[in-house]
Amino acid sequence: MINVLIADDERLSRVRLKELFQNRKDFFIQYEAVNGDEVYTVLAHKKIDVVFLDINMPGKSVFESLRELKFEGMIVFQTAYSEFAVKAFDVDAVDYLLKPYSKDRFSICIEKIISKFNEKQNKNNNAVIVLKQQDNTKIVRISDIVYLTMGNSIITIKLKDKTTLFSDKTLTYFESLLPECAFFRTSRNALINIKCIVSFHKNCSGVNYIEMNNGERIELSRRRVKDLKSLIDF
């Protein structure tokens, strides 16, 4: 699921864009912003994969916000002013939609986003982390991690080949290290690989849990259920 921020001070433009996204199940419109200050707040505190950004909005300059935050997600500029095109691509925009644009032009933009997103995912899959163990050091591919749990101040890391590793780092440390698009914090004590999820269940006591592809179950806190469902269709 690709998380989207729509930022435009024109209500009709936001409505039109949401209509274009209506049949795209691989995209989730997570937030809307109507001025530059709201854009800054959302990008500073929320996980956004792509922002559809109007350039001429009241409030803080969008270019200034992108520069200050060092935003690493994808940017699609949508505006009625063609003179901003060069400046837009200076910040490595994925696309530049000149209003009004057609449904076909929007589809081309979507294909660019998906291609860029998949490229980033592939890079993450080949990335590694170094884990210092008691008697040696392990180099682990991030994509081989099924989940990480915390207990008694020790992090337990389960891999796809059923290897178990340990670390004295914190779960917050690993959360900052691992790619947001690939891992999900299910509770204070667990971080899971989204691609290793098999199913979601609730037992007779009302406890939510996730079954992983290694056969193990990870508890999902109630406050995280909605967030997970926004990423995966259950």
The per-residue pLDDT for range 173-224, each reduced to its tens digit, is 898 888 877 899 999 999 999 999 999 988 888 899 999 999 999 999 999 9
Annotated domain spans of the chain: 2-124, 128-231
Q: What is the mean pLDDT of residues 36-56?
A: 91
- Give the Cα separation of 126 and 142 in Å (integer): 7
pTM of whole model > 0.85?
A: no
Q: What is the mean pLDDT of residues 102-116?
A: 92
Is the backbone of residue 55 left (phi > 0), alpha (psi -120 to 50) or beta? alpha
Average pLDDT, the chain: 88
Residues near 95 by Cβ (< 8 Å), separated by ≥ 6? 76, 77, 108, 109, 112, 113
pLDDT of residue 85: 58
Homologous superfamily of domain range 128-231: LytTr DNA-binding domain (2.40.50.1020)
- Measured N-to-C along each axis, helices 62-69 and 36-45 cross at an angle, to the nearest 10 degrees, of 20
pLDDT of residue 82: 67
| Residue in 185, 173, 176 with CA at minimum distance from that of residue 224 | 185
Domain 2-124: which CATH class? alpha beta
| Residue in 14, 11, 7 with CA at minimum distance from that of residue 54 | 7
pLDDT digits (tens, 9 = 90+) for 54-99: 988 899 988 888 888 888 889 999 888 766 655 666 677 899 998 8
Q: List the structure tokens of 182.
A: 């690939």
Q: Are 169 and 191 in contact, with CB atoms under 8 Å apart?
A: no
